[in-house]
């Protein structure tokens, strides 16, 4: 029995520029640049390595799947077509569930940028204040939820503004200032941070770090959830992804090198490294006030990133509800086709996770533990995504796809094999906590237990929910 098609009543509000900007703001974040800068010129190797084994495979596969199955739901639709509803729900639940943990993490970086913009002299103190961090995260997240209730058109504008204010402008500001510093004969600390083009991979810490960089590029598949709101998706998706890839790689690589040029290894921390680099470089030109303005822009960029991610995975859950996998009342939408009930439940859970920051010894330890859990959950989902792409080439080879991964089945198989192996290796490496974790106030055993419990919940919960769903209709898999 053929599946009932979802109503095609979403307005086509996204063009090439809007889609590219949403991809940029969803994937690119300056929050990881300070960590990358600590490797000096070795940052180039890490980014190229991550792009080759993860970013490019995800982008190619997402472009093929989005143009072949442009229905609302993205990952849920693709895995359902390949492996049925049960595993489709597990995949989209992992995507949705890991976002619940990711929101507090990225908003913590936004709160640190906001602190610098409002009160530079107290920014370090505020960035480690649990009360300040939790307050900013809750206010910003609930504001984004309420904004998304108004539909994708207004949300897309916020995401575009966030891409410019939080990624493009500060990223190219960093790059430009570093270039001026070098041209003016200023001191460069690039080699102090790291003088090896290929870091010493005999050290396990460097291997673990290389794997963690993969998820700096996560999210290119997210905009597929908006496929039915994109104008001419067959052409727009591949071009939007290509434009985003070029901008993201440029900002990541040159941005990290710029921080390494400006700062000595002991001058910056994870949450404040970008703003500190801007402060140092702008001080040379007596433009200290501009650093505060850019920091405020970065805070806006974080808000735009969160705004871009709130509805995407939720629409995957909405597709599951419309498919009978979730209770029908969760599939209710408002007049603008926004899944308000799913978003509300999501906001409540995010608030509870955010409050867990108060239970950790420091903001830094909570930031790190939750970051790693989001990575692990996403890696599981990506493994299913690559497997679905291979399966669909076998079972539905004649399905029209405006874009196909080059090389036929062998080309797709090679691309997906690289992605799967990279994801599996990163998943295993993630269970070995870095030595710095104990210094942040968290015992390594507690870290591993936290990861195991979180991953178990991410898989067991959707399987249990699926088992208890309402009886499937005839013909459903």
**pLDDT of 53 over the 90 cut:** no
In a domain? residue 273 = yes
Position 387 scores a pLDDT of: 96
pTM for the predicted model, two decimal places = 0.76
Q: How far apart are CA 108 and CA 137, in angstroms?
A: 7
Q: At what angle do helices 363-395 and 408-429 cross, to 10 degrees?
A: 160
Position 383 scores a pLDDT of: 92
Question: What is the b/e burial string over 284-308, where b = at least 16 CB atoms within 10 angstroms of the residue's CB?
Answer: eeeeeeebbebbbbbbbbbbbbbbb
Position 475 scores a pLDDT of: 44
Judge whether 447 and 365 are in contact, CB under 8 Å.
no
Instruction: Work out the pLDDT band at 472, boundaries 50, 70, 90.
Output: very low
Q: How far apart are CA 399 and CA 380, in angstroms?
A: 26
Dihedral-angle region of residue 468 (phi above 0 means left; psi in -120 to 50 means alpha; beta otherwise) = alpha
In a domain? residue 11 = no
pLDDT, tens only, 154-206: 556 776 777 778 778 888 888 888 898 888 888 888 888 888 888 877 776 67
Instruction: Work out the pLDDT band at 2, boundaries 50, 70, 90.
Output: very low
* For residues 69-79, average pLDDT: 83
In a domain? residue 39 = yes
254's tokens:
């040159």
* For residues 426-450, average pLDDT: 70
In a domain? residue 33 = yes
Q: How far apart are CA 207 and CA 294, in angstroms?
A: 33
Q: How many helices (H) and strands (E) does the chain have?
A: 20, 0
**pLDDT of 32 over the 80 cut:** no
Position 5 scores a pLDDT of: 42
Q: How far apart are CA 201 and CA 207, in angstroms?
A: 6
C-alpha dist (Å) from residue 179 to 154, 194, 251, 287, 419: 36, 19, 14, 16, 35
First to last CA, the chain: 10
C-alpha dist (Å) from residue 182 to 36, 40, 104, 252: 20, 15, 37, 19
pLDDT, tens only, 394-422: 999 999 887 788 888 999 999 999 999 98
C-alpha dist (Å) from residue 94 to 62, 211, 383, 446, 455: 17, 19, 11, 22, 9
DSSP 399: S
Q: How far apart are CA 228 and CA 321, in angstroms?
A: 17
How many independent structural domains does the chain possess? 1
Max avg pLDDT among 63-77, 388-402, 447-461: 388-402
Position 23 scores a pLDDT of: 75
Residues paired with residue 230 on neighbouring β-strands, in sequence order: 14
pLDDT, tens only, 116-149: 888 888 877 887 788 898 899 999 999 888 888 8
**pLDDT of 392 over the 50 cut:** yes
Position 272 scores a pLDDT of: 58
Instruction: Work out the pLDDT band at 4, boundaries 50, 70, 90.
Output: very low
Instruction: Work out the pLDDT band at 28, boundaries 50, 70, 90.
Output: confident
Judge whether 394 and 125 are in contact, CB under 8 Å.
no
**pLDDT of 8 over the 60 cut:** no
pLDDT, tens only, 280-317: 778 877 887 888 888 888 888 888 778 777 876 787 78
C-alpha dist (Å) from residue 139 to 57, 96, 339: 36, 21, 21
In a domain? residue 10 = no
Domain of 265, CATH number, reads 1.20.1740.10
Question: Which has the closest alpha carbon to 250: 166, 175, 162?
Answer: 175
Q: How far apart are CA 86 and CA 349, in angstroms?
A: 23
Position 394 scores a pLDDT of: 94
336 is in which domain, residue-wise? 16-467
In a domain? residue 58 = yes
In a domain? residue 383 = yes
C-alpha dist (Å) from residue 204 to 207, 434, 440: 5, 9, 19
Q: What does pLDDT average to over the chain?
A: 79
Torsion on CA atoms 376, 380, 381, 387, rounded to nearest 10: 150
In a domain? residue 451 = yes
Pairwise pLDDT comparison (182 vs 2), residue with the higher score: 182
pLDDT, tens only, 258-287: 888 888 877 665 555 677 777 777 887 788
DSSP 190-244: HHHH---SS--TTSHHHHHHHHHGGGGGTTTTGGGGGGGGBSSHHHHHHHHHHHH
Dihedral-angle region of residue 288 (phi above 0 means left; psi in -120 to 50 means alpha; beta otherwise) = alpha
């Amino acid at each position: 029995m053929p599946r009932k098609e979802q109503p095609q009543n979403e307005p086509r509000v996204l063009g090439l520029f809007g889609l590219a900007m949403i991809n940029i703001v969803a994937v690119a974040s300056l929050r990881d640049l300070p960590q990358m800068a600590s490797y000096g010129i070795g940052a180039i190797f890490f980014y190229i390595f991550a792009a080759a084994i993860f970013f490019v495979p995800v982008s190619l596969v997402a472009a093929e799947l989005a143009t072949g199955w442009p229905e609302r739901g993205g990952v849920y639709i693709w895995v359902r077509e390949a492996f049925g509803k049960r595993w489709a729900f597990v995949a989209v639940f992992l995507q949705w569930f890991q976002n619940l943990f990711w929101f507090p993490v990225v908003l913590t970086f936004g709160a640190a940028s906001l602190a610098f913009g409002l009160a530079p002299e107290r920014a370090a103190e505020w960035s480690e204040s649990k009360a300040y961090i939790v307050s900013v995260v809750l206010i910003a997240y609930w504001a984004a939820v309420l904004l998304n209730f108004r539909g994708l058109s207004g949300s897309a504008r916020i995401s575009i503004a966030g891409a410019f204010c939080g990624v493009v402008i500060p990223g190219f500001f960093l790059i430009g200032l570093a270039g001026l510093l070098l041209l003016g004969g200023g001191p460069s600390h690039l080699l102090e941070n790291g003088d090896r083009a290929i870091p010493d991979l005999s050290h396990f810490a460097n291997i673990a770090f290389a794997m963690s960089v993969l998820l700096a590029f996560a999210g290119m598949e997210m905009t597929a959830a908006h496929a039915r709101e994109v104008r001419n998706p067959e052409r727009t998706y591949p071009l939007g992804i290509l434009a985003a890839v070029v901008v993201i790689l440029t900002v990541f690589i040159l941005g990290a090198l710029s921080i390494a040029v400006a700062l000595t290894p002991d001058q910056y921390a994870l949450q404040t490294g970008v703003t500190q680099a801007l402060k140092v470089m702008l001080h040379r030109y007596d433009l200290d006030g501009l650093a505060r303005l850019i920091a405020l822009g970065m805070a806006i960029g974080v808000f735009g990133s969160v705004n871009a991610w709130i509805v995407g995975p939720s629409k995957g859950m909405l597709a599951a509800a419309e498919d009978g996998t979730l209770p029908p009342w969760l599939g209710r939408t408002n007049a603008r086709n926004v899944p308000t009930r799913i978003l509300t439940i999501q906001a409540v859970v995010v608030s509870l996770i955010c409050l867990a920051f108060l239970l950790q010894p420091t903001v830094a330890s909570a930031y790190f533990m939750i970051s790693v859990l989001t990575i692990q959950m996403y890696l599981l989902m990506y493994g299913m995504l690559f497997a679905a792409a291979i399966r669909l080439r076998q079972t539905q080879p004649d399905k029209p796809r405006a874009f196909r991964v080059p090389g036929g089945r062998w080309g797709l198989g090679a691309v997906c094999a690289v992605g799967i192996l990279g994801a599996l290796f990163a998943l295993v490496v993630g269970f070995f906590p870095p030595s710095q974790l104990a210094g942040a106030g968290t015992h390594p055993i507690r870290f591993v237990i936290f990861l195991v419990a979180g991953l178990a919940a991410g898989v067991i919960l959707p399987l249990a929910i699926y088992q208890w769903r309402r009886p499937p209709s005839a013909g459903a898999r």
